[in-house]
Homo-oligomer: A and B are copies of this chain.
Amino acid sequence: MVILDGKKLGEKILGELKTEITGLNKKLRLAVVVVGQNPVVEKFINQKRKAAEFLGIDFKIYPFAEEITTNELRKRLSEIMHEKRNTGVIIQLPLPKHLNTQYILNAIVPEKDVDVLSTKAVGNFVVGKSEVMPPVAGAVKALLEEYKIDFQGKSIVIVGAGSLVGKPTGLWFLNEKVGFSLVESGTLSPEEIIKKADVLITGIGKPKFIKGDWIKKGAVVIDAGTSESGGKLSGDVDFESASQRAGFITPVPGGVGPVTVAILFKNLIALAKE
């Protein structure tokens, strides 16, 4: 069994980006819009801040109170967008429930949308005209490439169709004309489908939902689920039992997460180059 070491791959990508960025005649800055406070979210933000510091990229947090309205946030976001120094803008998700997330995301122009979440950026990606990939899909791709895992002709199963993991990964496979099976909340026997997966990609945020004996012997398990369980970050897969059967498996933390952060900065640089 091989651990898909996302920490190592993330550092490798950041190292390559550091070389690339020295040739870039432009100061980059990532603007991070944060609404409210949340210790888990803060952990994620700190990972991004660290990567930015390593690359010598400016990193600016725009904090807003939990109570902000959709219209007010959208207005403020437009100002942040038009600030020339901000070459990339992200909104830390999830936003509080009272906010219209997609409407707010749509204030980000595609040239600064490093998370590929605005309607325009998603459209560009779906029709195959995007320079950048949604970060989690990019991380899945980078992990498969790094470990030379060929997925053509394999049975691929995606668990969850959320906007950050399942949907963009499914869109990527659709574009690559690669078949896959999608398991969602309405699927009657998820374990029957999951048991057939040569490559399993999950992003539902249910701690240890996927049991070890659902994993096909030798399967590739990419766990992009993140949830908090007893104060600790947990994936969707029960790592301990699943790692007994998998051929390749990502740990949580240290798997998809650090690669996703690296891809975010890869996107920032790619968009700045255009």
Residues of chain A whose beta carbon lies under 8 Å from any beta carbon of chain B: 102, 118-124, 126-129, 152-153, 161, 163, 166-167, 170-171, 173-175, 177-188, 193
Shortest distance between the CB of A229 and any CB in chain B (Å): 23
A124 to B123, CA, bound (A): 7
A246 to B243, CA, bound (A): 41
Task: Evaluate contact between A174 and B179: CB separation under 8 angstroms.
Answer: no
Q: A179 contacts which of B120, B152, B193 (Cβ < 8 Å)?
A: B193
Task: Evaluate contact between B170 and A179: CB separation under 8 angstroms.
Answer: no
Task: Evaluate contact between A182 and B174: CB separation under 8 angstroms.
Answer: yes
- Chain A to chain B contacts (Cβ below 8 Å), 18 pairs: A102-B129, A119-B123, A119-B127, A120-B123, A122-B127, A123-B126, A126-B126, A127-B163, A153-B188, A170-B174, A173-B182, A177-B184, A178-B186, A179-B181, A179-B183, A179-B184, A179-B187, A181-B182
Shortest distance between the CB of A151 and any CB in chain B (Å): 9
Task: Evaluate contact between A181 and B184: CB separation under 8 angstroms.
Answer: no
A123 nearest CB neighbor, chain B only: B123
Q: A181 contacts which of B121, B126, B180 (Cβ < 8 Å)?
A: B180
Task: Evaluate contact between B178 and A184: CB separation under 8 angstroms.
Answer: yes
Provide the residues of chain B in CB contact with A102, threshold 8 Å: 127-129
Provide the residues of chain B in CB contact with A123, threshold 8 Å: 118-124, 126
**12 extra interface residue pairs, beta carbon distance < 8 Å, beyond A119-B127, A167-B174, A177-B185:** A102-B128, A119-B123, A122-B123, A123-B123, A123-B126, A161-B175, A161-B177, A170-B170, A177-B184, A179-B181, A179-B187, A179-B193
Task: Evaluate contact between A161 and B186: CB separation under 8 angstroms.
Answer: no
Shortest distance between the CB of A236 and any CB in chain B (Å): 16
A124 nearest CB neighbor, chain B only: B119
Tell me which of A123, A170, A193 has the highest count of chain B C-beta atoms within 10 A of its own C-beta: A123
Tell me which of A102, A119, A175, A183 has the highest count of chain B C-beta atoms within 10 A of its own C-beta: A119
